[in-house]
Structure 1
Amino acid sequence: MALVMRITASEEIYQKLRNEILSLRFEPGQELNLQLLATQLQVSRSPVRDALMKLSGDNLVDIFPQRGTRVSCIDLKQVEEERFLRKSLEQSAVRKFVPIAKCKELGQMEDAITLQQRAMVSKDFNQFLEADDTFHAAIFSGIDMDRIWNLICSQGGNHHRIRLLSFAEKDVLGNIIEQHRAMLDAIKQKDLETVLAIEHRHLDKLLEETEFMIKRHPFYFKKIQATEGLIPKN
């Protein structure tokens, strides 16, 4: 008899609220009213409270006892930690993937690029980011390590949000598509060194865009001391 996994109310609410935060529909710094959320979601306060506690563990909400809850501002130190985690794991995955890449994963990457082109035309940044993740997830799927990709996603909330913000900057979307095409061509040729070089530039490009995003959305970012190589110093 097959086991059926049931999603609890708090887990379902957690996923809904997490999606709202990652899509920036709930903006960094925005107040989250427990009672209002419970009313909107047509549930009691308890599962909403549990979901918010879990989101706090993801560094996506800040809970202030007796004062309320708000969406966490983007923490650039955490962005760097999450980017480092992803880059380290993905470059290792690429080394295993390139020699054994199959038509299935290459087709998924081709389709992801096509979806990104459509999203760029319609300026649908969330769809563009979803297709971007599909492109990279194919690498982990191709080496049967989907769980590692899921780990990157679960630990990458700050990095996810700043990636989404970066799409509004000039030429960013086109450059991402161009890099994806170059990566895919190099993978087809089993040219590992070229893939790694493109991957390095691809995952580091956010460092160059951070200063512009801080100027455009200063209240979205947690105010912390400058970190070498990531946060511009005044």
Structure 2
Amino acid sequence: MAQVMRITASEEIYQKLRNEILSLRFEPGQELDLQLLCSQLQVSRSPVRDALMKLSGDNLVDIFPQKGTRVSCIDLKQVEEERFLRKSLEESAVRKFVPIAQGKDIALMENAIEMQKKAMEAKDFIQFLEFDDTFHSIIFAGIYMERLWDITKNQGGNHHRIRLLSFAEKDVLGNIIDQHKAMLEAIRQKDLEKVLAIENNHLEKLLKETELMMLRHPNYFKKEMPSAFLIPKN
């Protein structure tokens, strides 16, 4: 008889708070009042503390003993590390996926693009990002390595937030859809090098958008900026 996995109270709270942070409903730098969270979630302090400790391990909250807790500002060094992790894993996944991609995989990717279009029309950035992730997760599922995709998701909180923030910039959503369409056509043609080139451009685009986002939302970012994000002036 299969065992039923039970989610603990602290795990459930962790997931709820993580979603609030990743969706930017809890903004970078925002103070998190422990007592207020307990009241809103209708739980005791212990599972909330446990959840916050786990979020601290994800680099999504900063805990200051005797002072309080706040949502971590976006750390561009960690964004670069998370982007590097995802790029490395996804490039390897693409190399395995393209030669064996099946019709069902392509159909799922087509559906993800259609759902992205609907989310763009509704200006629902959170839904758009969910279907963006769905599109890429199909690559990992197609080679039976879903756990690697889970690693990129679980370790990608800063990268996730900066992606979501970038969606408010002009033409970003449309460009993502165009890139996904181009990737899908290259997958159909079994053109691995073209898929890799489009994928590389797709994942590198944040480097070009970051400077503008920092100007628009300076309080959302930690002050130190790694060299990868120092964009030369023309």
TM-score of the two chains, using structure 1 as the length reference: 0.98
Residue number in structure 1 paired with 2:28: 28
Distance in 1 between the 2:189 and 2:138 partners? Answer: 17
Residue number in structure 1 paired with 2:213: 213
- Is the Cα contact below 8 Å between 2:63 and 2:69 reproduced in 1? yes
**1:157 corresponds to 2:157:** yes
Distance in 2 between the 1:233 and 1:190 partners? Answer: 36
Residue number in structure 1 paired with 2:226: 227
Q: Which runs of 5+ in 1 are unaligned?
A: none
Count of aligned pairs: 233
One-letter amino acid of the counterpart of residue 230, structure 1: F
One-letter amino acid of the counterpart of residue 174, structure 1: G
Distance in 1 between the 2:105 and 2:21 partners? Answer: 30
Q: CA deviation at 1:2?
A: 1.3
One-letter amino acid of the counterpart of residue 152, structure 2: I
**Residue deviations 1:81-110, cap 9 Å, x none?**
000000000000000000000122111110
Distance in 2 between the 1:103 and 1:151 partners? Answer: 26
Distance in 2 between the 1:233 and 1:178 partners? Answer: 27
Please give the root-mean-square deviation of Cα atoms over the aligned residues, in Å: 1.0
Q: CA deviation at 1:60?
A: 0.1
C-alpha change, 1:220 and 1:231, in structure 2 (3 Å) is: farther
Residue number in structure 1 paired with 2:178: 178
One-letter amino acid of the counterpart of residue 43, structure 1: V
Distance in 2 between the 1:65 and 1:103 partners? Answer: 54
- Is the Cα contact below 8 Å between 1:210 and 1:231 reproduced in 2? no
Q: Which runs of 5+ in 2 are unaligned?
A: none
One-letter amino acid of the counterpart of residue 56, structure 1: S
One-letter amino acid of the counterpart of residue 70, structure 1: R
**1:101 corresponds to 2:101:** yes
Distance in 2 between the 1:55 and 1:6 partners? Answer: 20
Structure 1 residue ranges, 4+ long, deviating more than 6 angstroms after superposition: none
One-letter amino acid of the counterpart of residue 177, structure 1: I
Residue number in structure 2 paired with 1:119: 119
One-letter amino acid of the counterpart of residue 147, structure 2: R
One-letter amino acid of the counterpart of residue 60, structure 1: L
**1:136 corresponds to 2:136:** yes
Residue number in structure 1 paired with 2:39: 39
Q: CA deviation at 1:149?
A: 0.0
- Is the Cα contact below 8 Å between 1:76 and 1:231 reproduced in 2? no
Distance in 1 between the 2:123 and 2:230 partners? Answer: 27
Partner of 1:179, secondary structure, is helix
Identity of aligned residues (%): 76
Partner of 2:229, secondary structure, is coil
Residue number in structure 2 paired with 1:69: 69
C-alpha change, 1:101 and 1:81, in structure 2 (3 Å) is: same
One-letter amino acid of the counterpart of residue 175, structure 2: N
Distance in 2 between the 1:232 and 1:206 partners? Answer: 11
Distance in 2 between the 1:202 and 1:133 partners? Answer: 13
Distance in 2 between the 1:133 and 1:227 partners? Answer: 26
One-letter amino acid of the counterpart of residue 170, structure 2: K
Q: CA deviation at 1:231?
A: 3.7
TM-score of the two chains, using structure 2 as the length reference: 0.98
Distance in 1 between the 2:186 and 2:77 partners? Answer: 32
Give matches, 1:192-211, under 5 Å: 192-211=192-211
**Residue deviations 1:192-218, cap 9 Å, x none?**
010000001000001000000000000
Partner of 2:144, secondary structure, is coil
Partner of 2:228, secondary structure, is coil
